[in-house]
Amino acid sequence: MIFMKKIGILIIVFITTIRLSAQTIDVDVLVIGGGIGGTAAGIQAARLGAKTIIVEETPWLGGMLSAAGVSAIDGNHELPSGLWGEFREKIYAHYGGPNKVATGWVSNTHFEPHVADSILKSMVAAEKNLQVKAGYRLSSVSKKQNKITGATFHHLTNGSTLSIQARQIIDATELGDVMAMAQVPYSLGMEAGSVTGETVGVSQTNDIVQDLTLVALLKNYGVGRDCTIVKPAGYDPREFDGACTDYYIDKSRKQPTVDAKKMLDYAKLPNGKYMLNWPNFGNDTYLNIVELHPAQREKELEKAKQTTLRFIYFIQTQLGYKHLGLTDDEFPTSDRLALIPYHREGRRLKGIVRYTMTQIAHPFDQPLYRTGISVGDYPIDHHHKKNLDAPQQLEFYPIPSFNIPMAALIPETMDGLIVAEKGISVSNVANGTTRLQPVVLLTGQAAGTMAALAVKKNIPARKLLVREVQQQLIASKASIMPYNDVKPAHPYFKAIQRIGATGILKGKPTPQSWANRTWFYPDSLVNTKQFIKDLQDYYPTNVSSPMENVSLSLFVNIMEPFYKGKDLAKDISHHMQICGMPEAKQDQFLTRQIVAELLDRLFDPFSQKINLFGNKD
């Protein structure tokens, strides 16, 4: 009897162990990767009612702006929309306002990486439809015919397996690993200009990716403290010659423009910390590890680690900053370095649309801008200084602010998959700006929106209506048009976003170095000739007028044939009254924001269907 009881206990233990080691879950949306794009996607999908799981290898959320340590935000300071604006407000609240995070000169927003992780986890915890599975690595994906249906993971510590079936999957991995496993076509490296139509001096297609960085954070331990690390193997200060004016020996190298202090202040964080992510003879490293297996990647990444350690030793000894040592209260790693490398580039989807620098630079030359789902304003910035085989001229090409088209997130043929993070369908050159933290965050929010709507409607993402996705994003205070002068708090934000996306009132793209712009000019008057021209796609009219600008009476004259109500002039007056607008006289000229509001509320051209290329259906 005792023997039989022991056998029974062993059977129960065995069955329990099997259950623990092989878990199967069904969800609406599976987000593979808890980087900043994946986390945003998960939050947004959950908010829209989809049962969602984020699976992430590390114990942190936020990817490049937390686990990779790149916690100085690049761009979108004047485009604080959607979840990016929400996250930034929480950063402000944590530190005590915008001035408290303007600690370095590379960005307007700096923060400690662990704070970002904490904020994102609190945002995730607030969503009842969202859970996170941490410590799991992707093992395989499952497909049925032309659709990805799920994925299997293994736990990095206990070896248990996790199988998740989902109606929509989002590839939010740092390097596009889901695409590769599912054999979804993708690009890796540079495309020749003959392929993309870009004229930036890339003459041949190659497999060169941008330099990566294993970020370190130094902390000021006080004058007199010696925090010098053990001298790394192979250390030679000449490796960092030209990083700053305090050590510039080899005049054949590009002359530095900053001294040691300014170099360190580049990404100075709150609480006396300094982020080391310095491209100019600093700690960038060229490693093309994208197609390697995880174990091979880890081995190669030791080179990036050693580069950073040598740079730290250089700062401490050659430059004399011995009191700056590796932070002891930041990353939960044995070497105190970032949890993951900062990958600037990985695989890039071959989507329904490939977004290029040409489209960014000249947005209104074709209708693709009408399909925008996220916005950015950072210049095209490539890191290739550690690989002289790469073109060295890909830095800060003049572009305006821009919006990423919805079709760049959708594979050409495979269903069940939406791509986020840096793996969206862009050219290698365009990746130099679409890869930045707030853009990836907002693109992730769009991916989550698309996934949730696809689940709700039980259709592939490619069948979603562009306007329905955009409408949901606008409702979430996310911009679909990159207007610097119309922020989410603007009283006509929604109307201007919608009308801007029709092209009836186009903005003015303005390249402006580090802070590129597209202006809507809401308080400016409406040019009559341009207004009539831009109306043709929606409201073809033969009305002409000698008036330079549109008055209320001219607006009524142009638009009355298309009005479905009884009395346009009367309804305009009523609408302006209930919206708190100043009463307009017949000969009064209208501003662009008033015309946008009237078009949006009384005519609703935004509701007219367009396809994924921006053309009217």
Report d(CA 58, CA 465) in Å as an integer: 35
What's the predicted TM-score (pTM) here? 0.95
Alpha-helical runs (H) found in 208-293: 260-265
- Segments making up each domain of the chain, as ranges: 21-205+345-355+414-459, 212-326, 493-607
Q: What is the pLDDT of residues 6-63, one digit of tens each?
A: 444 444 444 444 444 678 999 999 999 999 999 999 999 999 999 999 999 999 999 9
For 279-304, the pLDDT digits (tens) are 999 999 999 999 999 999 999 999 99
Q: Tell me the pLDDT tens digit for each residue of 459-470.
A: 999 999 999 999
Q: What is the largest CA-CA distance in the chain?
A: 105
Which of the pair, 482 or 201, is modelled with greater confidence?
A: 482
Residues 6+ away with beta carbon under 8 Å from 413:
146
Token digits for 570?
Answer: 């009367």
Residue pair 271/104 in contact by the 8 Å Cβ criterion: no
Q: Are 580 and 588 in contact (CB under 8 A)?
A: no
Residue 127's Cα: distance from chain center in Å?
A: 21
Domain 21-205+345-355+414-459 has CATH 3.20.20.70: no
Please give the full DSSP string across 409-475, using - where no structure is assigned: GSBSS-BSEEE-GGGSSB-TTTHHHHTSHHHHHHHHHHHHHHHHHHHHHTS-GGGS-HHHHHHHHHH
Encoding tokens for residue 522? 């809401």
First to last CA, the chain: 77
Instruction: Please say whether the beta carbons of 518 and 503 come within 8 A.
Output: no
Residue 68 makes CB contacts below 8 A (sequence gap 6+) with 215, 338, 339, 340, 341, 342, 343
Q: What is the pLDDT of residues 56-109, one digit of tens each?
A: 999 999 999 999 999 999 999 999 999 999 999 999 999 999 999 999 999 999
> Which pLDDT band holds residue 594 (cuts at 50, 70, 90)?
very high
Beta bridge partners of 53: 30, 131
Please give the pLDDT value at position 3. Answer: 39
Strands (DSSP E) found in 455-606 = 508-510, 517-519
Q: Would you say residue 330 has pLDDT above 80?
A: yes
- Residue 457: name the closest of 39, 149, 26, 28 by CA: 28
Nearest to 202, CA basis, from 513, 431, 362, 516: 431
Which range, of 194-198, 256-260, 502-506, 526-530, averages the lowest pLDDT?
Answer: 194-198
How far apart CA 571 and CA 157 sit, in angstroms, is: 66
Which residue carries 């580039």 as its tokens? 345
pLDDT of residue 21: 60
Kind of pairing between the strands at 417-419 and 161-171 = parallel
Beta bridge partners of 351: 411
Q: Which two tokens stand for residue 293?
A: 């297996």
For the chain, percent of residues with pLDDT exceeding 90: 88
Task: Tell me: pLDDT of 1 over 90.
Answer: no
Task: Please tell me the predicted confidence (pLDDT) of residue 513.
Answer: 78
pLDDT of the residue at 15: 41
| Tokens (6 digits) for 415 | 């269903």
Please give the share of the chain, as a percent, with pLDDT higher than 70.
96
Q: Looking at this protein, which amino acid is placed at residue 609?
A: K
Look at residues 478, 415, 414, 475 and name the one whose alpha carbon lies nearest to residue 446: 478
334 Cβ contact list (under 8 Å, min separation 6): none
Bridge pairing between strands 348-349 and 186-187: antiparallel
- Give the amino acid at 534: D
Q: How far apart are the C-alpha atoms of 475 and 142, rounded to whole Å?
A: 34
Q: Nearest 10 degrees: CA dihedral of 190, 196, 199, 204?
A: 40
> Looking up tokens 């925008």, which residue turns up?
372
Contacts 24+ apart (CB under 8 A), 361-365: 361/397, 361/398, 361/399, 361/400, 361/509, 361/511, 362/509, 363/400, 363/402, 363/403, 363/509, 363/518, 364/503, 364/506, 364/509
339-343, 404-408, 483-487, 514-518: least confidently modelled range: 514-518
pLDDT range class, residue 476, cuts 50, 70, 90: very high
Predicted confidence at residue 432, as pLDDT, reads: 94
Q: What is the dihedral of CA 78, 84, 89, 91, to 10 degrees?
A: -110
